[in-house]
Structure 1
Amino acid sequence: MVDTTALLAAYDAQMRMPTGTVPTGMTYEHDGPILRIVGGHVGRIRAPRDVGVTGAALDRLIARQRDYFRARGQGVEWKLRAHDLPADLPERLVAAGFVAQEPSTVLLGLAEEVAAEPVLPDGVVLRRVSEAGDLRRIADQQSEVLGVDCSWVAADLTARVSADPGQITILVAEAGDRLACTAFVVYYPGTDFVALLGGATLPDWRGRGLYRAMLASRAREAVARGFRLLHVDASPASAPILRRHGFHEITTSTHYQWTPPE
Protein backbone atom coordinates (compact mmCIF):
# COMPACT_ATOMS: atom_id res chain seq x y z
CA MET A 1 0.00 0.00 0.00
CA VAL A 2 1.19 3.51 -0.83
CA ASP A 3 1.49 5.83 2.16
CA THR A 4 -0.47 8.86 0.97
CA THR A 5 0.30 10.71 4.21
CA ALA A 6 4.01 10.47 3.38
CA LEU A 7 3.32 11.59 -0.18
CA LEU A 8 1.44 14.65 1.07
CA ALA A 9 4.27 15.47 3.47
CA ALA A 10 6.79 15.25 0.60
CA TYR A 11 4.56 17.47 -1.54
CA ASP A 12 4.26 20.09 1.20
CA ALA A 13 8.01 20.05 1.84
CA GLN A 14 9.15 20.17 -1.79
CA MET A 15 6.45 21.49 -4.12
CA ARG A 16 5.27 24.70 -2.51
CA MET A 17 7.88 26.95 -4.11
CA PRO A 18 9.45 26.70 -7.58
CA THR A 19 13.06 25.55 -7.74
CA GLY A 20 15.73 25.93 -10.39
CA THR A 21 16.27 28.71 -12.91
CA VAL A 22 13.73 31.55 -13.02
CA PRO A 23 12.05 31.68 -16.47
CA THR A 24 13.33 34.48 -18.70
CA GLY A 25 11.49 37.76 -18.18
CA MET A 26 10.06 36.76 -14.80
CA THR A 27 11.12 37.72 -11.29
CA TYR A 28 10.55 36.03 -7.94
CA GLU A 29 9.89 38.45 -5.10
CA HIS A 30 9.40 37.52 -1.45
CA ASP A 31 6.90 39.36 0.71
CA GLY A 32 7.08 37.83 4.16
CA PRO A 33 6.06 34.17 3.89
CA ILE A 34 4.83 34.29 0.29
CA LEU A 35 6.52 34.28 -3.10
CA ARG A 36 5.25 36.71 -5.72
CA ILE A 37 5.89 35.62 -9.33
CA VAL A 38 5.99 38.62 -11.65
CA GLY A 39 6.32 38.86 -15.42
CA GLY A 40 3.92 36.21 -16.65
CA HIS A 41 0.53 36.76 -18.25
CA VAL A 42 -0.89 37.02 -14.73
CA GLY A 43 0.74 37.35 -11.35
CA ARG A 44 1.06 34.23 -9.22
CA ILE A 45 1.32 33.79 -5.47
CA ARG A 46 2.92 30.72 -3.90
CA ALA A 47 3.00 30.07 -0.17
CA PRO A 48 3.91 27.42 2.42
CA ARG A 49 1.13 25.27 3.81
CA ASP A 50 0.83 27.60 6.82
CA VAL A 51 1.21 31.24 5.84
CA GLY A 52 2.02 31.95 9.47
CA VAL A 53 0.09 35.20 9.80
CA THR A 54 -3.53 35.69 10.82
CA GLY A 55 -6.22 38.30 11.22
CA ALA A 56 -5.46 41.87 10.19
CA ALA A 57 -1.85 41.03 9.28
CA LEU A 58 -3.09 38.39 6.83
CA ASP A 59 -5.59 40.85 5.34
CA ARG A 60 -2.75 43.33 4.77
CA LEU A 61 -0.60 40.64 3.14
CA ILE A 62 -3.42 39.74 0.75
CA ALA A 63 -4.19 43.38 -0.04
CA ARG A 64 -0.54 44.10 -0.84
CA GLN A 65 -0.49 41.38 -3.50
CA ARG A 66 -3.77 42.57 -5.04
CA ASP A 67 -2.64 46.20 -5.05
CA TYR A 68 0.81 45.37 -6.42
CA PHE A 69 -0.71 43.76 -9.51
CA ARG A 70 -3.48 46.36 -9.73
CA ALA A 71 -0.70 48.96 -10.18
CA ARG A 72 0.68 46.82 -13.02
CA GLY A 73 -2.75 46.55 -14.64
CA GLN A 74 -2.63 42.78 -14.23
CA GLY A 75 -4.62 40.06 -12.55
CA VAL A 76 -3.16 37.76 -9.92
CA GLU A 77 -3.94 34.23 -8.76
CA TRP A 78 -3.24 32.77 -5.32
CA LYS A 79 -2.90 28.98 -5.31
CA LEU A 80 -4.46 27.38 -2.25
CA ARG A 81 -4.68 23.73 -1.20
CA ALA A 82 -7.56 22.26 0.78
CA HIS A 83 -5.43 21.62 3.87
CA ASP A 84 -3.70 25.01 3.94
CA LEU A 85 -3.63 27.25 7.00
CA PRO A 86 -4.98 29.42 8.42
CA ALA A 87 -8.37 27.86 7.83
CA ASP A 88 -10.02 31.22 7.12
CA LEU A 89 -7.60 32.13 4.30
CA PRO A 90 -10.20 31.36 1.59
CA GLU A 91 -12.74 33.67 3.18
CA ARG A 92 -10.18 36.45 3.55
CA LEU A 93 -9.15 36.12 -0.10
CA VAL A 94 -12.79 36.39 -1.18
CA ALA A 95 -13.28 39.43 1.07
CA ALA A 96 -10.34 41.06 -0.74
CA GLY A 97 -11.98 40.52 -4.13
CA PHE A 98 -10.48 37.18 -5.17
CA VAL A 99 -12.77 34.64 -6.84
CA ALA A 100 -12.37 30.88 -6.38
CA GLN A 101 -12.00 28.89 -9.60
CA GLU A 102 -12.99 25.25 -10.04
CA PRO A 103 -10.77 23.06 -7.83
CA SER A 104 -8.30 20.57 -9.28
CA THR A 105 -7.40 17.21 -7.78
CA VAL A 106 -3.77 16.97 -6.70
CA LEU A 107 -2.52 13.54 -7.75
CA LEU A 108 0.92 11.99 -7.28
CA GLY A 109 2.31 9.00 -9.13
CA LEU A 110 5.44 6.88 -8.71
CA ALA A 111 7.50 7.53 -11.83
CA GLU A 112 8.89 3.98 -12.08
CA GLU A 113 5.38 2.52 -12.07
CA VAL A 114 4.12 4.81 -14.84
CA ALA A 115 7.20 4.82 -17.07
CA ALA A 116 6.87 2.75 -20.25
CA GLU A 117 7.49 2.77 -23.97
CA PRO A 118 4.73 5.01 -25.40
CA VAL A 119 2.28 3.19 -27.67
CA LEU A 120 0.92 5.44 -30.42
CA PRO A 121 -1.91 4.99 -32.95
CA ASP A 122 -0.92 4.41 -36.56
CA GLY A 123 0.14 7.59 -38.30
CA VAL A 124 0.99 9.49 -35.11
CA VAL A 125 4.55 10.61 -34.36
CA LEU A 126 5.76 11.68 -30.91
CA ARG A 127 8.19 14.58 -31.15
CA ARG A 128 10.12 16.74 -28.69
CA VAL A 129 9.96 20.43 -29.62
CA SER A 130 11.40 23.77 -28.53
CA GLU A 131 11.30 26.04 -31.60
CA ALA A 132 9.14 29.18 -31.55
CA GLY A 133 6.89 28.01 -34.39
CA ASP A 134 6.07 24.76 -32.62
CA LEU A 135 5.38 26.57 -29.36
CA ARG A 136 2.90 28.86 -31.12
CA ARG A 137 1.19 25.80 -32.63
CA ILE A 138 0.93 24.28 -29.15
CA ALA A 139 -0.72 27.44 -27.81
CA ASP A 140 -3.22 27.36 -30.70
CA GLN A 141 -3.94 23.67 -30.09
CA GLN A 142 -4.51 24.24 -26.35
CA SER A 143 -6.85 27.14 -27.15
CA GLU A 144 -8.83 24.87 -29.47
CA VAL A 145 -9.06 22.05 -26.92
CA LEU A 146 -9.86 24.17 -23.87
CA GLY A 147 -12.08 26.71 -25.60
CA VAL A 148 -10.27 29.69 -24.03
CA ASP A 149 -7.44 31.93 -25.19
CA CYS A 150 -4.18 30.11 -24.41
CA SER A 151 -1.94 32.30 -26.56
CA TRP A 152 0.07 33.08 -23.41
CA VAL A 153 1.26 29.44 -23.33
CA ALA A 154 3.71 30.10 -26.18
CA ALA A 155 5.39 32.93 -24.24
CA ASP A 156 5.47 30.87 -21.04
CA LEU A 157 7.11 27.89 -22.75
CA THR A 158 9.54 30.18 -24.57
CA ALA A 159 10.56 31.77 -21.26
CA ARG A 160 11.24 28.36 -19.71
CA VAL A 161 13.22 27.07 -22.69
CA SER A 162 15.23 30.28 -22.89
CA ALA A 163 16.14 30.21 -19.19
CA ASP A 164 17.12 26.54 -19.01
CA PRO A 165 16.05 24.03 -21.68
CA GLY A 166 17.08 21.22 -19.33
CA GLN A 167 14.27 22.07 -16.92
CA ILE A 168 11.43 21.35 -19.35
CA THR A 169 10.50 18.76 -21.96
CA ILE A 170 7.77 19.71 -24.45
CA LEU A 171 6.10 16.93 -26.44
CA VAL A 172 3.68 16.85 -29.35
CA ALA A 173 1.88 13.87 -30.81
CA GLU A 174 1.57 14.83 -34.47
CA ALA A 175 -0.88 13.36 -36.96
CA GLY A 176 0.05 14.81 -40.33
CA ASP A 177 -0.07 18.57 -39.90
CA ARG A 178 -2.24 18.44 -36.77
CA LEU A 179 -1.13 18.39 -33.16
CA ALA A 180 -3.37 15.64 -31.85
CA CYS A 181 -2.02 15.90 -28.31
CA THR A 182 0.41 18.22 -26.53
CA ALA A 183 2.03 17.93 -23.10
CA PHE A 184 4.99 19.19 -21.07
CA VAL A 185 7.01 18.12 -18.04
CA VAL A 186 8.82 20.58 -15.76
CA TYR A 187 11.65 19.26 -13.58
CA TYR A 188 12.14 20.59 -10.05
CA PRO A 189 15.89 20.42 -9.29
CA GLY A 190 16.76 19.37 -5.77
CA THR A 191 13.42 17.60 -5.23
CA ASP A 192 11.88 14.20 -5.95
CA PHE A 193 9.29 15.80 -8.23
CA VAL A 194 8.41 16.62 -11.78
CA ALA A 195 5.22 18.43 -12.74
CA LEU A 196 3.16 17.06 -15.62
CA LEU A 197 1.43 19.93 -17.46
CA GLY A 198 -0.59 20.38 -20.62
CA GLY A 199 -1.98 17.03 -21.66
CA ALA A 200 -4.48 18.48 -24.16
CA THR A 201 -5.97 16.12 -26.76
CA LEU A 202 -8.11 17.13 -29.74
CA PRO A 203 -11.68 15.82 -29.35
CA ASP A 204 -11.51 13.53 -32.39
CA TRP A 205 -8.35 11.89 -31.03
CA ARG A 206 -9.63 11.13 -27.53
CA GLY A 207 -9.95 7.54 -26.38
CA ARG A 208 -7.09 6.37 -28.61
CA GLY A 209 -4.30 6.22 -26.06
CA LEU A 210 -2.53 9.53 -26.68
CA TYR A 211 -2.83 10.85 -23.15
CA ARG A 212 -1.58 7.51 -21.84
CA ALA A 213 1.37 7.62 -24.25
CA MET A 214 2.27 11.11 -23.06
CA LEU A 215 2.17 9.91 -19.44
CA ALA A 216 4.41 6.95 -20.19
CA SER A 217 6.94 9.03 -22.11
CA ARG A 218 7.18 11.78 -19.53
CA ALA A 219 7.46 9.31 -16.65
CA ARG A 220 10.22 7.44 -18.48
CA GLU A 221 12.16 10.69 -18.91
CA ALA A 222 11.65 11.52 -15.22
CA VAL A 223 13.09 8.16 -14.17
CA ALA A 224 16.06 8.62 -16.51
CA ARG A 225 16.80 11.96 -14.84
CA GLY A 226 16.53 10.53 -11.32
CA PHE A 227 13.13 11.93 -10.29
CA ARG A 228 10.84 9.70 -8.25
CA LEU A 229 7.44 11.40 -8.12
CA LEU A 230 5.02 12.76 -10.72
CA HIS A 231 2.71 15.64 -9.81
CA VAL A 232 -0.49 16.65 -11.59
CA ASP A 233 -3.16 19.23 -10.75
CA ALA A 234 -5.81 17.22 -12.55
CA SER A 235 -9.01 18.36 -14.21
CA PRO A 236 -12.18 16.26 -13.82
CA ALA A 237 -11.48 14.79 -17.27
CA SER A 238 -7.88 13.80 -16.50
CA ALA A 239 -8.23 12.58 -12.91
CA PRO A 240 -9.96 9.23 -13.72
CA ILE A 241 -7.28 8.37 -16.31
CA LEU A 242 -4.53 9.15 -13.85
CA ARG A 243 -6.12 7.08 -11.11
CA ARG A 244 -6.30 4.11 -13.48
CA HIS A 245 -2.55 4.49 -13.97
CA GLY A 246 -1.79 4.35 -10.27
CA PHE A 247 -1.84 8.00 -9.27
CA HIS A 248 -2.96 8.81 -5.72
CA GLU A 249 -5.09 11.75 -4.59
CA ILE A 250 -3.49 13.71 -1.76
CA THR A 251 -5.51 16.96 -1.67
CA THR A 252 -7.21 19.50 -3.92
CA SER A 253 -5.95 22.86 -5.16
CA THR A 254 -7.90 25.98 -6.02
CA HIS A 255 -6.75 29.15 -7.73
CA TYR A 256 -8.24 32.29 -6.23
CA GLN A 257 -8.14 34.95 -8.95
CA TRP A 258 -8.30 38.70 -8.75
CA THR A 259 -8.98 40.54 -12.00
CA PRO A 260 -8.49 44.30 -12.36
CA PRO A 261 -11.67 46.22 -13.15
CA GLU A 262 -12.10 47.23 -16.79
Structure 2
Amino acid sequence: MDHSAVLALYDRVMREGALPDGPGARIERAGAVVRQVAGPQGWNGVLWSGLDAKGADRAVREQITRFTALGRDFEWKLYAHDEPADLATRLLAAGFRAEPEETLMIGEVAGLAPATAPPQGIRLVRAADPAGVELVVDVHEKSFGTDGARLRHQLLARLSDAPGTVVAVVALAGAEPVGAARMELVPGTPFAGLWGGGTVAAWRGRGLYRALVADRARVAAAHGYRYLQVDASPMSRPILERLGFHAVSTTTPYLYAG
Protein backbone atom coordinates (compact mmCIF):
# COMPACT_ATOMS: atom_id res chain seq x y z
CA MET A 1 0.00 0.00 0.00
CA ASP A 2 1.30 3.47 -0.91
CA HIS A 3 1.02 5.13 2.50
CA SER A 4 1.42 8.70 1.26
CA ALA A 5 -1.17 8.31 -1.50
CA VAL A 6 -3.71 6.65 0.78
CA LEU A 7 -3.21 9.27 3.49
CA ALA A 8 -3.71 12.04 0.92
CA LEU A 9 -6.90 10.33 -0.28
CA TYR A 10 -8.12 9.98 3.31
CA ASP A 11 -7.48 13.66 4.01
CA ARG A 12 -9.28 14.70 0.84
CA VAL A 13 -12.43 12.61 1.06
CA MET A 14 -12.85 11.90 4.77
CA ARG A 15 -11.66 15.17 6.29
CA GLU A 16 -11.73 18.04 3.79
CA GLY A 17 -14.73 16.51 2.00
CA ALA A 18 -16.38 15.19 5.17
CA LEU A 19 -20.04 14.28 5.37
CA PRO A 20 -22.12 14.71 8.55
CA ASP A 21 -21.67 11.71 10.84
CA GLY A 22 -25.33 11.41 11.74
CA PRO A 23 -28.83 12.90 11.63
CA GLY A 24 -28.97 16.44 12.95
CA ALA A 25 -25.31 17.17 12.23
CA ARG A 26 -24.05 19.50 9.51
CA ILE A 27 -20.70 20.29 7.96
CA GLU A 28 -19.53 23.89 7.83
CA ARG A 29 -16.66 25.11 5.66
CA ALA A 30 -15.22 28.36 6.94
CA GLY A 31 -12.11 29.51 5.12
CA ALA A 32 -9.41 26.89 5.62
CA VAL A 33 -11.37 24.96 8.26
CA VAL A 34 -13.92 22.16 7.95
CA ARG A 35 -15.97 21.56 11.08
CA GLN A 36 -19.04 19.62 12.17
CA VAL A 37 -21.79 21.23 14.20
CA ALA A 38 -24.25 18.93 15.95
CA GLY A 39 -26.59 18.86 18.91
CA PRO A 40 -25.42 18.42 22.51
CA GLN A 41 -25.40 14.61 22.10
CA GLY A 42 -23.52 14.68 18.79
CA TRP A 43 -19.86 15.22 17.91
CA ASN A 44 -18.86 18.86 17.56
CA GLY A 45 -15.44 19.72 16.27
CA VAL A 46 -12.85 20.52 13.62
CA LEU A 47 -12.22 17.75 11.11
CA TRP A 48 -9.71 19.37 8.78
CA SER A 49 -7.72 22.55 8.43
CA GLY A 50 -5.37 23.90 5.80
CA LEU A 51 -3.66 26.57 7.87
CA ASP A 52 -0.34 28.36 7.77
CA ALA A 53 1.58 30.05 10.55
CA LYS A 54 0.22 33.47 9.68
CA GLY A 55 -3.47 32.61 9.93
CA ALA A 56 -3.51 29.76 12.44
CA ASP A 57 -4.11 31.71 15.64
CA ARG A 58 -6.95 33.68 14.08
CA ALA A 59 -8.58 30.47 12.81
CA VAL A 60 -8.31 28.89 16.26
CA ARG A 61 -10.02 31.91 17.84
CA GLU A 62 -12.77 31.79 15.22
CA GLN A 63 -13.57 28.16 16.04
CA ILE A 64 -13.74 28.93 19.74
CA THR A 65 -16.09 31.83 19.02
CA ARG A 66 -18.31 29.70 16.78
CA PHE A 67 -18.75 26.77 19.16
CA THR A 68 -19.01 28.76 22.39
CA ALA A 69 -21.75 30.88 20.78
CA LEU A 70 -23.65 27.62 20.29
CA GLY A 71 -22.98 26.55 23.87
CA ARG A 72 -20.97 23.54 22.69
CA ASP A 73 -17.77 22.01 23.96
CA PHE A 74 -15.82 20.79 20.93
CA GLU A 75 -12.84 18.84 19.70
CA TRP A 76 -10.08 19.81 17.31
CA LYS A 77 -9.05 16.51 15.75
CA LEU A 78 -5.39 17.17 15.01
CA TYR A 79 -3.22 14.88 12.88
CA ALA A 80 0.57 14.70 13.09
CA HIS A 81 0.98 15.83 9.48
CA ASP A 82 -1.28 18.90 9.81
CA GLU A 83 0.20 22.35 9.33
CA PRO A 84 1.55 24.51 10.78
CA ALA A 85 3.92 22.17 12.61
CA ASP A 86 3.33 23.97 15.92
CA LEU A 87 -0.49 23.87 15.74
CA ALA A 88 -0.65 21.64 18.82
CA THR A 89 1.24 24.25 20.84
CA ARG A 90 -1.10 26.97 19.58
CA LEU A 91 -4.16 24.93 20.59
CA LEU A 92 -2.81 24.39 24.09
CA ALA A 93 -2.06 28.10 24.42
CA ALA A 94 -5.66 28.86 23.41
CA GLY A 95 -7.07 26.72 26.23
CA PHE A 96 -7.46 23.29 24.63
CA ARG A 97 -6.64 20.09 26.52
CA ALA A 98 -4.92 17.16 24.78
CA GLU A 99 -6.30 13.63 25.06
CA PRO A 100 -4.12 10.54 24.49
CA GLU A 101 -2.66 10.15 21.01
CA GLU A 102 -3.98 7.41 18.73
CA THR A 103 -2.57 5.92 15.53
CA LEU A 104 -4.44 6.37 12.26
CA MET A 105 -4.33 2.92 10.68
CA ILE A 106 -5.65 1.95 7.27
CA GLY A 107 -5.91 -1.48 5.70
CA GLU A 108 -6.96 -2.62 2.25
CA VAL A 109 -9.94 -4.91 2.75
CA ALA A 110 -8.69 -7.34 0.12
CA GLY A 111 -5.28 -7.61 1.81
CA LEU A 112 -6.34 -8.22 5.38
CA ALA A 113 -5.60 -11.49 7.15
CA PRO A 114 -8.09 -14.32 6.64
CA ALA A 115 -11.28 -14.19 8.66
CA THR A 116 -10.92 -14.98 12.34
CA ALA A 117 -13.65 -17.00 14.03
CA PRO A 118 -14.87 -15.87 17.45
CA PRO A 119 -13.68 -17.79 20.52
CA GLN A 120 -15.51 -20.97 21.44
CA GLY A 121 -18.79 -20.23 23.17
CA ILE A 122 -19.17 -16.80 21.55
CA ARG A 123 -21.66 -15.83 18.88
CA LEU A 124 -21.72 -12.52 17.03
CA VAL A 125 -25.07 -10.82 16.46
CA ARG A 126 -26.10 -7.60 14.75
CA ALA A 127 -27.40 -4.79 16.96
CA ALA A 128 -30.11 -3.34 14.75
CA ASP A 129 -32.82 -2.30 17.21
CA PRO A 130 -33.08 -0.54 20.61
CA ALA A 131 -32.49 -3.79 22.51
CA GLY A 132 -29.33 -4.44 20.54
CA VAL A 133 -28.13 -0.89 21.10
CA GLU A 134 -28.49 -1.40 24.85
CA LEU A 135 -26.17 -4.41 24.60
CA VAL A 136 -23.59 -2.31 22.74
CA VAL A 137 -23.84 0.45 25.35
CA ASP A 138 -23.51 -2.07 28.19
CA VAL A 139 -20.23 -3.37 26.73
CA HIS A 140 -18.99 0.16 26.07
CA GLU A 141 -19.54 1.24 29.67
CA LYS A 142 -17.95 -1.90 31.11
CA SER A 143 -14.98 -1.88 28.70
CA PHE A 144 -14.09 1.80 28.74
CA GLY A 145 -15.53 2.95 32.05
CA THR A 146 -17.35 5.87 30.44
CA ASP A 147 -20.99 6.87 30.21
CA GLY A 148 -22.72 5.49 27.12
CA ALA A 149 -25.54 8.03 26.81
CA ARG A 150 -24.04 9.78 23.79
CA LEU A 151 -23.29 6.47 22.04
CA ARG A 152 -26.87 5.32 22.69
CA HIS A 153 -28.28 8.51 21.18
CA GLN A 154 -26.02 8.36 18.13
CA LEU A 155 -26.64 4.69 17.37
CA LEU A 156 -30.41 4.95 17.76
CA ALA A 157 -30.49 7.99 15.49
CA ARG A 158 -28.34 6.35 12.81
CA LEU A 159 -30.26 3.08 12.88
CA SER A 160 -33.55 4.96 12.61
CA ASP A 161 -32.69 7.63 10.04
CA ALA A 162 -29.70 6.25 8.11
CA PRO A 163 -29.52 2.49 8.76
CA GLY A 164 -27.33 1.80 5.75
CA THR A 165 -24.48 3.87 7.17
CA VAL A 166 -23.76 1.97 10.39
CA VAL A 167 -23.20 -1.65 11.41
CA ALA A 168 -23.10 -2.58 15.08
CA VAL A 169 -22.15 -6.04 16.31
CA VAL A 170 -22.30 -7.62 19.75
CA ALA A 171 -20.42 -10.69 21.00
CA LEU A 172 -22.56 -12.81 23.30
CA ALA A 173 -21.44 -15.49 25.76
CA GLY A 174 -24.81 -17.13 26.24
CA ALA A 175 -27.02 -14.10 26.87
CA GLU A 176 -24.22 -11.94 28.31
CA PRO A 177 -22.71 -9.21 26.09
CA VAL A 178 -18.92 -9.43 26.38
CA GLY A 179 -17.74 -7.50 23.34
CA ALA A 180 -19.09 -4.96 20.87
CA ALA A 181 -18.02 -2.75 18.01
CA ARG A 182 -19.43 -0.67 15.20
CA MET A 183 -18.54 0.32 11.66
CA GLU A 184 -19.46 3.51 9.83
CA LEU A 185 -20.01 3.14 6.09
CA VAL A 186 -19.35 6.49 4.42
CA PRO A 187 -21.37 6.77 1.20
CA GLY A 188 -19.50 7.77 -1.94
CA THR A 189 -16.05 7.06 -0.48
CA PRO A 190 -13.75 4.00 -0.47
CA PHE A 191 -13.46 4.14 3.33
CA ALA A 192 -15.35 2.44 6.13
CA GLY A 193 -14.41 3.30 9.70
CA LEU A 194 -14.05 0.88 12.60
CA TRP A 195 -15.04 2.34 15.96
CA GLY A 196 -15.66 1.37 19.56
CA GLY A 197 -14.13 -2.11 19.60
CA GLY A 198 -14.39 -3.09 23.26
CA THR A 199 -14.16 -6.33 25.25
CA VAL A 200 -15.06 -6.76 28.91
CA ALA A 201 -12.06 -7.55 31.09
CA ALA A 202 -12.77 -11.25 31.65
CA TRP A 203 -12.76 -11.97 27.91
CA ARG A 204 -9.67 -10.05 26.84
CA GLY A 205 -6.75 -11.88 25.28
CA ARG A 206 -8.90 -14.59 23.65
CA GLY A 207 -9.11 -13.23 20.11
CA LEU A 208 -12.47 -11.51 20.43
CA TYR A 209 -11.18 -8.14 19.18
CA ARG A 210 -9.73 -9.83 16.08
CA ALA A 211 -13.01 -11.61 15.43
CA LEU A 212 -14.95 -8.34 15.63
CA VAL A 213 -12.56 -6.74 13.13
CA ALA A 214 -12.86 -9.71 10.76
CA ASP A 215 -16.65 -9.67 10.97
CA ARG A 216 -16.84 -6.01 10.03
CA ALA A 217 -14.26 -6.46 7.27
CA ARG A 218 -16.52 -9.05 5.64
CA VAL A 219 -19.40 -6.58 5.72
CA ALA A 220 -17.22 -3.80 4.28
CA ALA A 221 -16.13 -6.08 1.45
CA ALA A 222 -19.73 -7.03 0.69
CA HIS A 223 -20.59 -3.33 0.39
CA GLY A 224 -17.68 -2.66 -1.96
CA TYR A 225 -15.43 -0.65 0.34
CA ARG A 226 -11.73 -0.76 -0.42
CA TYR A 227 -10.25 0.51 2.85
CA LEU A 228 -10.89 0.14 6.56
CA GLN A 229 -9.77 2.97 8.84
CA VAL A 230 -9.16 2.82 12.60
CA ASP A 231 -7.99 5.31 15.22
CA ALA A 232 -6.01 2.74 17.18
CA SER A 233 -5.02 2.79 20.83
CA PRO A 234 -1.57 1.48 21.81
CA MET A 235 -3.29 -1.77 22.86
CA SER A 236 -5.06 -2.23 19.53
CA ARG A 237 -2.23 -1.21 17.20
CA PRO A 238 -0.16 -4.43 17.31
CA ILE A 239 -3.27 -6.55 16.78
CA LEU A 240 -4.27 -4.49 13.77
CA GLU A 241 -0.76 -4.61 12.32
CA ARG A 242 -0.85 -8.41 12.44
CA LEU A 243 -4.17 -8.30 10.59
CA GLY A 244 -2.68 -6.20 7.77
CA PHE A 245 -3.36 -2.59 8.80
CA HIS A 246 -0.70 0.10 8.28
CA ALA A 247 0.08 3.10 10.46
CA VAL A 248 -0.12 6.21 8.26
CA SER A 249 -0.26 9.03 10.83
CA THR A 250 -1.21 9.79 14.42
CA THR A 251 -4.19 11.79 15.68
CA THR A 252 -4.76 13.59 18.95
CA PRO A 253 -8.07 15.01 20.18
CA TYR A 254 -7.72 18.54 21.54
CA LEU A 255 -10.76 19.36 23.64
CA TYR A 256 -12.15 22.80 24.41
CA ALA A 257 -14.69 23.31 27.20
CA GLY A 258 -16.39 26.67 26.90
The answer to whether TM tops 0.5 is yes
CA distance in 2, matches of 1:210, 1:17: 34
Match of 1:28 in 2: 27
Match of 1:123 in 2: 121
CA distance in 2, matches of 1:156, 1:76: 16
Distance 1:73 1:20, change over 3 A: closer
Stretches of 4+ moved more than 6 A in 1?
none
Residue identity over aligned pairs, in percent, reads 39
Query: Following superposition of structure 1 onto structure 2, how do residues 105-120 of structure 1 map, counting pairs within 5 Å?
Result: 105-114=103-112, 116-120=114-118
CA distance in 2, matches of 1:257, 1:69: 12
8 Å CA contact 1:185, 1:196 repeated in 2: yes
Deviation (angstroms), 1:118: 4.4
CA distance in 1, matches of 2:190, 2:197: 21
Q: 1:174 aligns with which of 148, 172, 181?
A: 172
CA distance in 1, matches of 2:19, 2:92: 32
8 Å CA contact 1:136, 1:151 repeated in 2: no
Distance 1:90 1:140, change over 3 A: same
- The reply on whether 1:195 has 2:196 as its aligned counterpart is no
Query: Following superposition of structure 1 onto structure 2, how do residues 50-129 of structure 1 map, counting pairs within 5 Å?
Result: 51-55=50-54, 57-114=55-112, 116-129=114-127
Deviation (angstroms), 1:67: 2.5
- The reply on whether 1:151 has 2:149 as its aligned counterpart is yes
Deviation (angstroms), 1:122: 2.7
Normalised TM-score (structure 1):
0.90
Residue by residue over 1:45-98, the C-alpha shift from the partner in whole angstroms, topping out at 9 and shown as x without a partner, is 1114xx13543x432321222223223332110001101112222122112111
Match of 1:6 in 2: 5
CA distance in 1, matches of 2:17, 2:161: 14
Report the residue type matching 1:165 in the other structure: P
Residue by residue over 1:218-240, the C-alpha shift from the partner in whole angstroms, topping out at 9 and shown as x without a partner, is 11111111111111000011111
SS in structure 2 at match of 1:186: strand
Q: Would you say how many aligned residue pairs link Structure 1 and Structure 2?
A: 256
SS in structure 1 at match of 2:15: coil
**5+ unaligned residues in a row in structure 2: which ranges?**
none
What is the root-mean-square deviation of aligned Cα atoms in Å?
A: 2.0
**5+ unaligned residues in a row in structure 1: which ranges?**
none
Distance 1:135 1:198, change over 3 A: same
Normalised TM-score (structure 2):
0.91
Report the residue type matching 2:120 in the other structure: D
Report the residue type matching 1:233 in the other structure: D
Residue by residue over 1:131-161, the C-alpha shift from the partner in whole angstroms, topping out at 9 and shown as x without a partner, is 1232133223212111222321111112222
CA distance in 2, matches of 1:182, 1:110: 22
Report the residue type matching 2:245 in the other structure: F
